Amino acid sequence: MKTSSVTILTFLGITAIYFDTECLSINTMLKQTKEKFASLFGSNTKTEIIQKEIPRTTQKTLVIENNQGAIKIKTDWNQNLISLTATKKASSDHLAKIVINIDTSNADVIKLKTVFQDDTVKGSVDYTLMVPKQMAIHLKTGKGTIKVKRFDGQVWANTDNGTIEIAHVTNKVIATVTETGSITIEQSNGTIQAATNDGDIVINDAKQSVVATTAHGDITLQVSHVPATSAIRLDAAGALQVYLPQETNAHLKAYAHNGKVFSDHYITLASQTTKLNSQAWNQLQKNIEGTIGTGEAEISLSSSGGSIKILDYALA
């Protein structure tokens, strides 16, 4: 009768248990475990760091197109050039096939592009750049986070999968996640457009028009000032929370398809003729049109799966 053996190996907190009817050798088990670790963690991964200073003459816009990896923009310097640190990560045989093209031939645009030299290449590039803060930036990555802080130029940020974090921007912001990821925008003085397919959107201390939409998530918006010519349009699958200052003057439409509308602000409801039955009361709690203050700005709120709360900004 053959005797079964049980061998337990523990590597880095992972326990591998091997059962064999003919007692596997220690070398065989070690080889199998090593191969498992390589498949999980990419033990052959190599890193290459590229650092360059890119001269800037008349160019007013920076464009970055990345296949996979993070993009981080810093502005805390006073040079009229761009400082680039790019960290390439891939297996040793793929690393040389990841190339960063730098194009400064256009008088208006500086363009950085990650190029995988063939379809078999797997890897990523993380960009960190010091940029003159008055430039406009267009940032695109297939998979990775995008972070921008303290910037005076216009910001376009797009990732397929990853988070977008933008703070202290004095100009227009457009942030888009085409698949999965959240968006956070803090203290932007310009107009804001934010959209994600699957994730939450948080916008704090907005001062101009805001358009935000998420197909699967919640939206939280804090508005410190609502100009008379501005518009706020929010559309979420989940809950909506909007914090408005007491001095808000806006025409309001709010519709919570599967929830209710709550407001800490006084709303002068639009006149309507209706029966006072249960259906009418139910509709009144989820579909509101009226005026806050004198009604100059436009606010439109829609939720398909949650409630809408209109709250006092002073309590945020």
DSSP secondary structure of 233-278: EEEESS-EEEEE-TT--EEEEEEETTS-EEESS--EEPP-----SH
User: Which of 206, 233, 235, 236 has its CA nearest to residue 316?
Assistant: 206
In angstroms, rounded to a whole number, what is the distance separating the alpha carbons of residues 119 and 23?
Answer: 42
Instruction: Cite the beta strand spans of 56-108 per DSSP E.
Output: 61-66, 71-74, 81-91, 98-103
Mean pLDDT for the stretch of residues 259-264:
96
Using an 8 Å Cβ cutoff, are 18 and 29 in contact? yes
Q: How far, in Å, CA of 26 to CA of 34, rounded? A: 12
- Given this model, what pLDDT does residue 32 score? 54
Mean pLDDT along residues 129-150: 95
Rounded to an integer, what distance in angstroms lies between the CA atom of residue 143 and that of residue 217? Answer: 19
Q: What is the pLDDT of residue 31?
A: 53
**Structure confidence at residue 30 (pLDDT):** 47
Helix/strand/coil for 313:
helix
pLDDT at 100: 96
Give the H or E element holding residue 167: strand 164-169
Question: Alpha-carbon dihedral of residues 173, 176, 182, 188, nearest 10 degrees?
Answer: 0
Higher pLDDT, 44 or 250: 250
pTM score of the predicted model: 0.84
For residue 149, pLDDT beyond 70: yes
Amino acid at 223: V
Residue 6 has pLDDT above 80, yes or no: no
Lowest mean pLDDT among 13-27, 169-183, 233-247: 13-27
Q: Give pLDDT, residue 181.
A: 98
- Tell me the average pLDDT across 103-117: 96
Query: By the 8 A CB rule, do 235 and 280 touch?
Result: no
* Residue 156 to residue 193: CA distance in whole angstroms: 10
> Can you give the pLDDT at residue 40?
34
**How much is the pLDDT for 218?**
98
What SS3 class is residue 296?
coil
Hey, CA dihedral for 197, 200, 202, 206, is it positive or negative?
positive
Q: What is the mean pLDDT of residues 158-170?
A: 97
**pLDDT tens readout for residues 37-64:** 344 334 578 999 999 999 999 999 999 9
> What is the pLDDT at residue 21?
39
